[in-house]
Structure 1
């Protein structure tokens, strides 16, 4: 066995580890909010790929309802549904009717049934809200082609002197020629014309859309392209005016929606790699997806080294609290529908996948899991191949399996719910275990994080503390056992939880098996 000592700074130990204790569930105080006994974890679902209830090959809303017991068995607190509105595309990010349901997915009645059944199981429902742009097939845009129509000013049109070769904020052409010969702005593609948020009617229309879905019973929204309401061109990406206008809009949106549902939860997609670029959105939004952390988690797992995760998070969370007046939620994740699946990023290394899951699910806030991640599904670009049918059965096909496209990956029969349900050591059951920890120990989901500096670059340690509990979380990122010397100042009493056994606490030293995750009290 290779032994490595990790030296803990005495001031950090004294401040963060002294008198560590986790009360039993029976001793915990009554939660201050309904979600306190939940895990805080959300599950992202591409409806088309999830479960087909009527045999037409396309996953649908009734299919999601049929699988709510599976979703509940994971222990998640909520689901995020990728776009379910009518759209000419398979992915749905170009909407033609903001108050309708994609007929391939079902009806509004089907959706309300899904909401009711999810809420019965304590599962919240977050909708994808795509309001930076519409489809070019939306009636608003079709009307806007007439310069005399009131909807013309709902979109952004080139003026004399406009640089029609300008590059958009996402790297493609910003300006596109319409059928009437005029040029309109579309940050993403020509099929997605940008809306003009300087127009009061646009702002009112989109607030009305949010209120409509809240009245149906939706709990919150994932805000697509939240940074691109005004950040349209590459030259806007560092423009403080564009940033200020983005933030002001989302603050207005939040206030308006809270008038309909004071508890509405908003998580924004701000796809930036500098944590400081996310800070301004905290306050107007409850949370933003932590893209910088996702990159760091994958890199740390791949290299089997702590690349400053705890130190970076302590700094980031302090900045978040400052911007949000103390009230914020992080939204960590490993991959989503726009990125290669995490198992593919990790080159199908199951040991790395397991430690990646452990890192994600022992961080505070609202971690997001992409459907199939809990099985180790693979998927590499193009986008269609990372949005493939959920694998329910060992042999691939079976009742409810979506067939809108075939699988491109080399996943075998073990990468299926059917195979992993029966295996206590499966990745699926590891996800369930880790998520259950978040219900048992409130600090894992709600705690303030403090980095515990480690001399050993293969060990990550941090404390989490809330009003109910304090814990020390330790990860061995490497394939070799490690010995962590806690020192006499660390009043750690016992191993509370460990992922797969083998960790031993004795004489002030913690012996960590390879790729171990341990929670100490």
Structure 2
């Protein structure tokens, strides 16, 4: 019997009975040959594992734009605390705070003090208040930790660049102006920036000089920073530019030596913080293929954002076609499983603070946005939602325009408490239709759709924690996959199109006619199940049990 695992590992799992396993594995096969071989097995008892990915839904917050508690127009930590009830009602189980350290820039990715809190956002006591309140609601809090580079205004860098005898001189990459060094920056352009008779390495921008992780004191300091914030009550970190610790140049970034050095550092970091919080959650920005990502999951990161998957989800929603994600995820998870020895959790998302917003990518089509959300929130792992995505906020680069103020009130910036005004909205100028207040009152809004889907996920263990296994439907407009835990199996079916679809659940060698007796959840009225056939209204999602 040929079995394609299509399984992600997180915890050890018990075995399933043969009838359950065979029916699931039939859906996992992608070739006619394999399906025929599986049919020959008949009712032979087969023992196998169904491995789970216990997950929760995370919400990415740009504090400056989220909620203002003191009326200065700038979002702050107390504002986030005040909106925890909104996040709890949405169904969120974790929040990711974009950089909250002191910084000369609005975005915060150029840090000047790794042990401080940006005064625009509040105080360390305000952060404690936030984490304590979140924990009481069962919400975890992780923060951006930017260790690849500092600000050029950081005291370390100022000392290093000014004095060749500075104890920080070797904390950065500083060379004589005429030194012969590689100039092919990993993110484009020449990464070296002039400073008098010297030059320094800053891959992303001259205001962000890269730290030198060959210097033991740098590695030690960053582990110290990580431990400090865990001691303050944080539950983990989002690691910015995780593959650029040693990946500075395009010619070397994907060499074995650089990949091994990156992996070794993140393993060192993980080991270094384990004594403070063994279960700290670490999700990394590794903007690359699954082959490059896999080694980072070996006793290092718990998760890496799934950029390739995000493209597929948005493309499928936009084209109204099955993005064929279950099979590809199965292959990826096999790789991640081997690399991590079962200790990884996927981190799917649609878009984030570095990309054009989901609603803009989908041309403002709410139905397509609902289907993208339905795909995202029925997948394994820890799905991440970018603030305002649940409202249909729009935004196109430059960066400030994809990080606009969260619209809380139907009347706009004059509406009342919580509304930030630090940046004028260019794309989100209709709060009477796209805002929390406007959409909470509309059962058909995108916000209501997100609440519904997250509620399904929180209510059904298989949706929250289960393995994913593909299910063939013979319809290019229908995406379907099993989600399976040891105790529950469901079938998720999406009609991606504007036309009604009727599918035969017994196609492809699947015995779904006998397995699934009821529609456990439906995003729209009109779905019907009977005689092995499932009728799906346009742009709808059902979960069969």
Normalised by the length of structure 2, the TM-score is 0.88
Q: How does 1:111-510 map to 2 (within 5 A)?
A: 111-145=127-161, 146-158=163-175, 162-163=179-180, 166-178=183-195, 180-272=196-288, 274-283=289-298, 284-397=300-413, 398=415, 399-409=417-427, 411-412=429-430, 413-487=432-506, 489-490=511-512, 491-510=515-534
Q: Secondary structure at the match of 1:236?
A: coil
Unaligned runs of 5+ in 2: 1-19, 29-51
User: d(CA) in 2 for partners of 1:204 and 1:511?
Assistant: 59
Q: How does 1:48-127 map to 2 (within 5 A)?
A: 48-127=64-143
User: d(CA) in 1 for partners of 2:386 and 2:323?
Assistant: 24
The Cα RMSD (Å) is 2.0
- The 8 Å contact of residues 374 and 431 in structure 1, kept in 2 or not, is answered as yes
Structure 1 range deviating more: 165-174 or 491-500: 165-174
In the TM superposition, what is the alpha-carbon distance from 1:162 to its structure 2 partner?
4.6
In the TM superposition, what is the alpha-carbon distance from 1:352 to its structure 2 partner?
0.2
In the TM superposition, what is the alpha-carbon distance from 1:486 to its structure 2 partner?
1.2
- The 8 Å contact of residues 74 and 432 in structure 1, kept in 2 or not, is answered as yes
Q: Secondary structure at the match of 1:234?
A: coil
- The 8 Å contact of residues 12 and 452 in structure 1, kept in 2 or not, is answered as no
In the TM superposition, what is the alpha-carbon distance from 1:168 to its structure 2 partner?
1.2
- The answer for the alignment partner of 1:24 in structure 2 is none
- The answer for the alignment partner of 2:45 in structure 1 is none
In the TM superposition, what is the alpha-carbon distance from 1:158 to its structure 2 partner?
3.0
- The 8 Å contact of residues 24 and 482 in structure 2, kept in 1 or not, is answered as no
CA deviation string 1:79-118 (max 9, x = no partner) = 0000000000000000000000001111111111111111
In the TM superposition, what is the alpha-carbon distance from 1:159 to its structure 2 partner?
6.0
In the TM superposition, what is the alpha-carbon distance from 1:308 to its structure 2 partner?
2.5
User: d(CA) in 2 for partners of 1:236 and 1:394?
Assistant: 51
User: d(CA) in 1 for partners of 2:179 and 2:475?
Assistant: 55
- The answer for the alignment partner of 1:22 in structure 2 is none
Structure 1 range deviating more: 365-374 or 228-237: 228-237
User: d(CA) in 2 for partners of 1:363 and 1:103?
Assistant: 38
User: d(CA) in 1 for partners of 2:247 and 2:409?
Assistant: 44
- The answer for the alignment partner of 1:21 in structure 2 is none
User: d(CA) in 1 for partners of 2:336 and 2:118?
Assistant: 37
Q: Secondary structure at the match of 1:87?
A: coil
User: d(CA) in 1 for partners of 2:435 and 2:206?
Assistant: 38
The 3 A distance-change label for structure 1 pair 109 and 310 is: same
CA deviation string 1:294-352 (max 9, x = no partner) = 01111111111123212211111111111111121000000110001100000000010
- The 8 Å contact of residues 16 and 463 in structure 1, kept in 2 or not, is answered as no
Would you say how many aligned residue pairs link Structure 1 and Structure 2? Answer: 494
- The answer for the alignment partner of 2:36 in structure 1 is none
In the TM superposition, what is the alpha-carbon distance from 1:13 to its structure 2 partner?
3.7
Q: Secondary structure at the match of 1:92?
A: coil
CA deviation string 1:175-219 (max 9, x = no partner) = 0112x4211111100000000001110000000000000000000
The 3 A distance-change label for structure 1 pair 307 and 359 is: closer
The 3 A distance-change label for structure 1 pair 163 and 474 is: farther
User: d(CA) in 1 for partners of 2:94 and 2:208?
Assistant: 29
- The 8 Å contact of residues 473 and 505 in structure 2, kept in 1 or not, is answered as no
The 3 A distance-change label for structure 1 pair 439 and 14 is: closer
In the TM superposition, what is the alpha-carbon distance from 1:236 to its structure 2 partner?
2.1
User: d(CA) in 1 for partners of 2:84 and 2:170?
Assistant: 43
- The 8 Å contact of residues 211 and 260 in structure 1, kept in 2 or not, is answered as yes
User: d(CA) in 1 for partners of 2:24 and 2:397?
Assistant: 48
The 3 A distance-change label for structure 1 pair 417 and 160 is: closer
Normalised by the length of structure 1, the TM-score is 0.92
User: d(CA) in 1 for partners of 2:524 and 2:184?
Assistant: 50
Q: Secondary structure at the match of 1:158?
A: strand
Runs of 4+ deviating beyond 4 Å: 159-165
- The 8 Å contact of residues 356 and 397 in structure 2, kept in 1 or not, is answered as yes
- The 8 Å contact of residues 144 and 239 in structure 2, kept in 1 or not, is answered as yes
- The 8 Å contact of residues 155 and 195 in structure 1, kept in 2 or not, is answered as yes
Matched, 1:513 2:537: yes
